[in-house]
């Protein structure tokens, strides 16, 4: 069972998605990731998008650590149910509705952030977390990254979690990698808008 590591809701247990369809981020990787993000001071007041959310543990961790808005995006019914449970838990602890859940594919949700009248994207998110399924083809990831780049605030940070055996993502011209780190079987990539 995973837990919220630190912040206002630190120590609270999180429900996990049953079965082996999702791959939870290990506590070791989560601790290292959030230590880095806090050292950059980007979580307090941030608007966060957690894509391929699984149980929602990464996005919920940002809420516990001071993010002001967190959107968990997941399409699998079991995972959506777990996200809703975990979001309700952290919202109760925080005494506010910081975390919401959107059911749907990542690309359809990203497409929904465009203003339907003008076709202009809302520059909404300060932090985007992606933990896509390892089998996701690199071409599909590249398309998703292009869509993400259109909904980022000016000083946003994008974090991708992939297998250590996966190649470096194909970055769109609107995103630039500025850091990466391997933790055993996990590889984290960090990018920002250019």
180: three-class secondary structure by DSSP: strand
The pLDDT assigned to 27 comes to: 80
Is 5 within the bounds of a domain? Answer: no
Is 11 within the bounds of a domain? Answer: no
Is 113 within the bounds of a domain? Answer: yes
70: three-class secondary structure by DSSP: strand
The pLDDT assigned to 147 comes to: 94
Is 18 within the bounds of a domain? Answer: no
189: three-class secondary structure by DSSP: strand
Write down the pTM of the prediction.
Answer: 0.93
66: three-class secondary structure by DSSP: coil
114: containing domain: 27-193
Taking the C-alpha atoms of residue 153 and residue 69, their distance in angstroms, rounded to an integer, is 14
Check if the beta carbon of residue 69 is closer than 8 Å to that of residue 97.
no
Is 82 within the bounds of a domain? Answer: yes
The pLDDT assigned to 25 comes to: 80
**Mean pLDDT across the chain, nearest whole number?**
92
Number of C-beta neighbours around residue 103 at 10 A: 17
The pLDDT assigned to 62 comes to: 97
How many independent structural domains does the chain possess?
A: 1
Is 76 within the bounds of a domain? Answer: yes
Whether the per-residue pLDDT at 178 is higher than 80: the answer is yes
The pLDDT assigned to 118 comes to: 59
The CATH number covering residue 77 comes to 3.40.50.150
Helix, strand, coil distribution of the chain in percent, nearest 5: 30, 30, 40
Taking the C-alpha atoms of residue 58 and residue 35, their distance in angstroms, rounded to an integer, is 13
Tens of pLDDT, residues 40-58: 999 999 999 999 999 999 9
Give the residue from 116, 123, 82, 115 showing the smallest Cα distance to 101.
Answer: 82
64: three-class secondary structure by DSSP: helix
Average pLDDT over residues 88-99: 96
The pLDDT assigned to 22 comes to: 66
Contact partners, residue 81, CB within 8 Å, separation at least 6: none
The pLDDT assigned to 112 comes to: 86
- CA distances to 57, 101, 173 from 85, rounded to whole Å, are 11, 10, 38
Tens of pLDDT, residues 64-92: 999 999 999 999 999 999 999 999 999 99
DSSP state of 185: T
Is 1 within the bounds of a domain? Answer: no
Is 13 within the bounds of a domain? Answer: no
127: three-class secondary structure by DSSP: strand
Whether the per-residue pLDDT at 106 is higher than 90: the answer is yes
Taking the C-alpha atoms of residue 63 and residue 52, their distance in angstroms, rounded to an integer, is 17
The pLDDT assigned to 124 comes to: 86
């Amino acid at each position: 069972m995973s837990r919220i590591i630190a912040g206002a809701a630190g120590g609270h247990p999180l429900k996990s998605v049953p079965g082996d369809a999702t791959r939870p981020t290990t506590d070791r990787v989560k601790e290292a990731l959030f230590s880095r993000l806090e050292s950059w001071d980007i979580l307090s007041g941030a608007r966060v998008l957690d894509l391929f959310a699984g149980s929602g543990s990464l996005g919920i961790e940002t809420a516990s650590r001071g993010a002001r808005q967190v959107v968990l995006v997941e399409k699998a019914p079991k995972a959506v149910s777990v996200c809703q449970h975990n979001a309700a838990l952290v919202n109760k602890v925080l005494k506010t509705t910081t975390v919401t859940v959107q059911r749907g594919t990542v690309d359809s949700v990203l497409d929904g952030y465009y203003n339907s009248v003008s076709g202009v994207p809302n520059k909404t998110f300060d932090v985007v977390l992606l933990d896509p399924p390892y089998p996701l083809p690199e071409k599909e990831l590249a398309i998703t990254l292009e869509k993400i780049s259109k909904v980022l605030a000016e000083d946003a940070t994008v974090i991708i979690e992939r297998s250590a055996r996966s190649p470096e993502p194909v970055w769109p011209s609107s995103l630039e990698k500025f850091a990466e780190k391997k933790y055993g079987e996990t590889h984290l990539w960090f990018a920002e808008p250019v």
